[in-house]
Copies of this chain bind each other. A is one copy, B any other.
Amino acid sequence: MKAVINTIYESKLATLKDKIAVLSAPVQLTIVTVGEDPASKVYVRNKIRLFDELGLTCNHITLAEETTTQSDLDEIAANAEHAILFQLPLPNGLEAPDLPASVDVDGFGSEALGQLVLGQNSILPCTVQATIDIIASHFGENNFAGLKVAVVGRSNIVGKPLAIELINRQSTVSSFNSRSDLESVDWKRYDVVVVATGAYGVLESTQFFEGQLIIDVGINRVDGKLVGDVKHNLEIEPMAAITPVPGGVGRLTCLHVLGNAVKLAECAQG
């Protein structure tokens, strides 16, 4: 699967470079971080590096955990004029402001999500877009209708918007969560299983079958190693195609932050 991800990555990046070349409006991004979350630092560094490589401006606003208030964040959001994101998780009960769709590069705000439900938006949450890309690459861009997809996890930033987008594309979608009886599920019934629980080992590589596509959205640190949500049985070769962690969904997710910033710049240009 690593080669597949690479191919998708290179193809999407090339398309984005072409779009950026003909845009008259500048593609910009502002990233706001609060405090010193180590995982956030890695994600932010990757985003900044990608923008740097393409000669684009990425502003990084770093706020101190001790002194930052909700109204500080709200004020930054209210003044945003181009693509902006508040890197999650935020400390001390701070919440990411509900951004207007015109600057909401993550697509996490209520305006972008409402447009998603109505099938009217172009901005998908970056991890959702990455998952859609991988399914499209495996089954074909025009073959979502009737595809049987299980989405395990119902977060506001992955599971729920992914289920909505798949319903928009006429897939047959089953949404599972921590209260679902996963033991009794016959996973064989699904063409695609997306695992986005945020917990390692909820499902195992040996539970899946030939012809299935398993998309592992999780990123967990176990014994100092980065792993996904799917537990890999190293003694038994998996029959299904399973996306790797790291170097799978996450790699494409980072690219789609740029992709969404380009879309917002295109919209601003009119």
Binding site for B on A (CB under 8 A): 109-120, 145-146, 154, 156, 159-161, 163-164, 167, 170, 172-181
Contact B170 A173, beta carbon cutoff 8 Å: no
Nearest B residue to A149 via CB reads B175
Question: What is the count of identical protomers in the complex?
Answer: 2
Contact A154 B174, beta carbon cutoff 8 Å: no
Contact B167 A163, beta carbon cutoff 8 Å: yes
Q: Given A113-B113, A164-B164, are A177 and B172 also a contact pair (CB < 8 Å)?
A: yes
| A116 CB contacts on chain B under 8 angstroms | 117
Contact A175 B177, beta carbon cutoff 8 Å: no
A180 to B166: give the CA distance in the assembly, Å: 12
| A177 CB contacts on chain B under 8 angstroms | 167, 170, 172
Q: Given A163-B163, A167-B163, A177-B167, are A156 and B110 also a contact pair (CB < 8 Å)?
A: no
Contact A156 B114, beta carbon cutoff 8 Å: no
Contact B179 A145, beta carbon cutoff 8 Å: yes
Instruction: Apart from A118-B156, A172-B175, list 14 A-B contacts with CB within 8 A.
Output: A110-B115, A110-B120, A114-B114, A114-B117, A117-B160, A154-B170, A160-B167, A163-B163, A163-B167, A163-B175, A170-B179, A172-B179, A172-B180, A174-B174
CB contact between A113 and one of B118, B174, B179, B180 (< 8 Å): that residue: B118
Task: For the complex formed, measure the closest distance between the CB of A74 and the CB atoms of chain B, giving whole angstroms.
Answer: 16
| A154 CB contacts on chain B under 8 angstroms | 167, 170
A109 to B112: give the CA distance in the assembly, Å: 12
| A118 CB contacts on chain B under 8 angstroms | 110, 113, 156
Q: Given A160-B167, A173-B175, are A114 and B109 also a contact pair (CB < 8 Å)?
A: yes
